[in-house]
Amino acid sequence: MRKPSGLGVREIAKKLNLNISTVSRALNRSYLVSKETTELVIRTANEMGYHKQRTKKSIIVLLPASHVKLAWYTLNLINALKECLSQREYFWEFVNSDRIDIIQERSITGIISLDFSGRIARAVCEKYNIPLVCINDASDHTDNVFSVNSDAASAINLSFGCLYDYGHRNIAYVTTSGLSYTAEKRKNAFLKIVSERGLEQSCVYISEHVNAYHGIISNLAKQGITGIIADGESSGLLIMNSLDICKISVPEKMSLITWELPYISALVSPALTTVEQNFPLLAEKAVLMLESQIRGESVSEDISVPYRLHLRNSVTVPVE
């Protein structure tokens, strides 16, 4: 658990047996203090839960490991966070999770984690006493790690409900998101709604790490699937391409719902019906939650942000 806030320069100086002026200069990264002493002071300050009072606070935005390519989802979230943090006059720095030890060289006010792995955030909290909020990742309230999440159930309920209301009963849910925290929640939501509607024999869940879906799409059409939910911002266009290669027209022969790609989903032909994560609201809620922790206020629960449905031209009634 994190230690109480309110620690100051005097307490750090006492712990390290340094002059208060030396600690203050180190926290301001003055050239008058050696690199070794500066790093020691900053590391100790972070471990003690000291957060320097200043007009602009320093935030680390924690990204996935450096070998992970950033897809549309992460880029949309990064843009929303940049906008939100700049409006509140924060300094911010993007750091890959495999380089998190850079914290030892910074006087950090707080961390917003986009790592999604469910591991790094806890590791950071175990080592450093720094306020931290996750976006779309598992929380751990015993270690004071809280999350702001897109509501996975609302994404599935909106997309499945749209197809169902058009008369579709043979629906496939296709994802390439692997075993991430949010992907698992969406999978469970899909299986739940299929079970509730008694459609276990006619609906399928498919998880594949592929860039070309030609074989999958062809098999789904042969199975009598008439509607596809394509999970993820980067999947919709790939599946559209595979449908075109397989000569399966949208929406005449296959209805398609996918995740929104801003400025793109509405411009392809046919314009895609999508569900959209509310990235600006995710960013705002995460920053507000982090600010509450920085002020020493208790956070009692995670925050869930609903998806939005954009009804366009890629869904119609199934062919008899």
pLDDT tens string 38-48: 888 888 887 77
- The per-residue pLDDT of the chain, averaged, comes to 86
**Between residues 174 and 144, the one the model is more confident about:** 174
- What is the predicted pLDDT for the residue at 179? 64
Higher pLDDT, 259 or 144: 259
Is 90 exceeded by the pLDDT of residue 13? no
Instruction: Go through the domains of the chain in sequence order and give each one's CATH number.
Output: 9-150+281-306 (3.40.50.2300), 152-277 (3.40.50.2300)
% of the chain beyond a pLDDT of 70? 91
| pLDDT, position 29 | 67
In tens, the pLDDT along 92-104 reads 899 998 888 877 7
Tell me the pLDDT band of 51, cut-offs 50, 70 and 90: low
Statement: the pTM of the whole predicted model exceeds 0.75? yes
Query: Which H/E stretch holds residue 110?
Result: strand 110-113
Residue 217 clears pLDDT 80, i.e. is over it: yes
- Nearest-angstrom CA–CA distance, 205 and 196: 15
- Phi/psi at 319 (5° precision): -70, 135
The pLDDT score that the predictor gives to residue 286 is 96
Share of the chain above pLDDT 90, in %: 47
- What integer pLDDT is reported at residue 259 of this predicted model? 95
Position 150 scores a pLDDT of 94
Token digits of residue 137: 């990742």
**Is the model's pLDDT at 64 over the cut of 60?**
yes
CA 199 from centre of chain: 30
* Interatomic CA distance for residues 164 and 166, integer angstroms: 5
Sheet containing 110-113: order of strands:
91-96, 58-63, 110-113, 132-135, 146-150, 303-305
CA-to-CA dists, residue 245 to 64, 116, 165, angstroms: 33, 33, 28
Q: Is the model's pLDDT at 310 over the cut of 60?
A: yes
